[in-house]
Each structure stands twice: as C-alpha cells, then as structure tokens.
Amino acid sequence: MMIYNRILLLFTLAVLAVYSYFAFKSPFSRNAFARSQSSLCDQNQRNIAYFVQVSSSNIHMLPTLLSVLGTDSDDILLHFDAAIDDTLLSQYHPSSTRIRLLEPRQHLTWGKISLVLNTRRAMHHMLTCCQCWTHFIAMSPSAYPLLAGIEFHRILHSRRFLSASFGQFRFNRTLNQWKNCPVEESLSVDQSSTVKGEAWFIWSRNVSEFLSGVGRNEKGQEIATEWLLKLTSFGAPDELFAQNVLLDDRTPPSLRNEIYNDHMYFIDWENETVHHPYNLHDVNQYWNNIEMSGAMFARKFMSPIDAKEMIDRIHSHLHSNHNHINRIIARMQAACNLSHPACVLSRSQFQSRTYTAF
C-alpha cells in the first residue's frame, strides 16, 4: 500500500509539472489561464472597466462624466493627453482613489495611429492590474451614460450579455491615406473589403485580450501587428483597427460569435461631410430621439453649461427608468451577430444615420 501511495504521489506531481510548464510557456495556455483568473471572481466581484481619453478640448466635461460613471467597484482608467497644459490639468486632476491614471502621458493626434496604440496600452494595463472586470468600455469625456452605473452591471452581467461585445462594423467607401506615406505591397489595403466603425465600443475581456496584443494565441498578435503596420499611413485608424483585426480572426472558435454590430450610442451625424458629430445640447431638438434611442451613451457634449439642461433631464428621466432599460435590451437583442455573413451589411431599426455613424 505504501508503494502504491508513493507511485500515486509521483504521478500527481508529474502531471502538475507538465501542466505548469504548458500553462506558463505556451501562449495559448497562458492566456487561457489569464481568463480563468477572471472567472475566479464570483458574481458579486464582477465589475466593468472604463477607459476615458482626455484631451484639452473635452477636459471641461470630465467632472460631469465622472460624477455618474460606474459604481464604486468599477475600474476607471484615465489618460490625460500630454499636450494638456499643467495649469489646466491641475484643475481637473481627479482625487478619487477608485480612478487610475495611464502613465506616462502620451501626445495623441486625432486621425493618427497614436490613438490605437494608446487604447491597446490601456487594455493591456487593465488586464494586468485588474482581474474581475468583464467588459472594457472606451469613451470620451464628451459622452454621457444614459444608464446609472449599477444598471450597466445588471445588463452586461446578465447571462445573455456576460461574454458579449458591442461595436460598429460597416464597409468603408473610401480610405484617407496620408500623402507621402508609401507602404510595401504586402501591407497594401483592399479598400473594397475594409471595415470601419466608431472608435467607441464595449469589448468583452476575451476581445480585449485579443486586441491588446495579449491574444488568445500567436495568431491574434500576428493579425494585430499586421493591421497596425497597414494603418499607420491611413487617416482615422482608431475607426479601422479593431474592426478589421476582429474580422480577420479565423481561429476557431472565432470571437465573432461573441460580437454584435451596434456600438450602443446615440450620435447625430446627420451631415456626413463634417468630421465631428453635432453637439446634443438642444433639448427641444434632441430629447425625443435620445429618449427612444435605446442607447447606453449619448455623444457629444462639449460644454457643461450648455449641456446642463439635457444632462439633468437624462439623469432624472432615463437613469433607473425601466422602460429605457427595456429599450436598451431590445436594441442589444436586435443587433446582428458578426458570425452572420451579411451582418456588416445589415441595418437594424436603430442603425439609422441619426442614431449611429451609419
């Protein structure tokens, strides 16, 4: 019996040694282990990660956003653009212990690859530091949540949406390539099949791992690197990177099974020739559409004074409003899944030009 027990012990130790080797040496197993760490968090520990990129043009809206963003258990990461004046920064620097800062601060340029690199850096930071978040939400201070923080938990942590991601995917008509930026033929972009969408999204932890460069396997890193090189010479790569990396993922089971084509925003791009959406300050003009949009966020607001009436109405009429929550769930359920071949071409009832960037 003693010999049998020794043999059993040696066999168990050998199995554990083999498991440990592959768990920490193999890229696939290492990432599976990382995801299993997040799954160790029980239902009461689950939270949401918010990433807010702050610039000198929208920093004035930051206090308004932070006053309602998330819950005390959520992880909030801020990046202050390096171009923000130190005097201005001192006025808006948060003092809350629940807020993290992404440092060192970077100089970010609208329409350039720096925005993509910084968002990937934020994903990697949050994956490393915080184990219990289920969704990574990237946003601007010019956006405002149409739900209370606890309601994001109730929806995103429900069984139906716990592993779901939401972003915008549409075929792009033209790509704006910067002048004097030739690329190798192997890195050329087929514009007829390139997909574009808003840079604001709700990614699950699995999708965030894939996009951040951690990846589910080496193929994920390969796809991301290739698209980073391709998009360096094109305008607005932050509206192209995630969409094309995710659609290029052929690793079974594909992440596309978990992704839905709707970014869950209300945005007014009625004039598609302009580079920025309209401000939503006018209650008379926009309230009815915002109320019925089924959106989780509205954008954009650029002045806390001019936007006060609209934001006060959102807070009093939509936060903790069961009818609004039901509209949001209906919109999420109506969004097509990327595994469907025609999903990028489809338009739901909510995907009109007024509600999204379509």
Q: Which residue has the tokens 């039901």?
A: 326
**CB environment 48-65: b (16+ within 10 A), e (fewer):** bbbbbbbbeebbbbbebb
What lies within 8 Å, CB to CB, of 20 at 6+ separation is none
Rounded to two decimals, the pTM is 0.85
Please compute Rg for the chain using Cα positions: 22
pLDDT in tens, the chain (358 residues): 445 444 444 444 343 343 333 333 333 333 443 444 556 788 889 999 999 999 999 999 999 999 999 999 999 999 999 999 999 999 999 988 889 999 999 999 988 999 999 999 999 999 999 999 999 999 999 999 999 999 999 999 999 999 999 999 998 766 776 666 665 655 677 766 789 999 999 999 999 999 998 755 677 788 899 999 989 888 889 999 999 999 988 777 788 999 999 999 999 987 666 678 999 999 999 999 999 999 999 999 999 999 999 999 999 999 999 999 999 999 999 999 999 988 987 555 444 444 443 2
Contact 51/79 with Cβ under 8 angstroms? yes
User: Which two three-digit tokens encode residue 176?
Assistant: 């704006």
> What topology is assigned to 47-172+190-265 in CATH?
Spore Coat Polysaccharide Biosynthesis Protein SpsA; Chain A (3.90.550)
Contact 126/49 with Cβ under 8 angstroms? yes
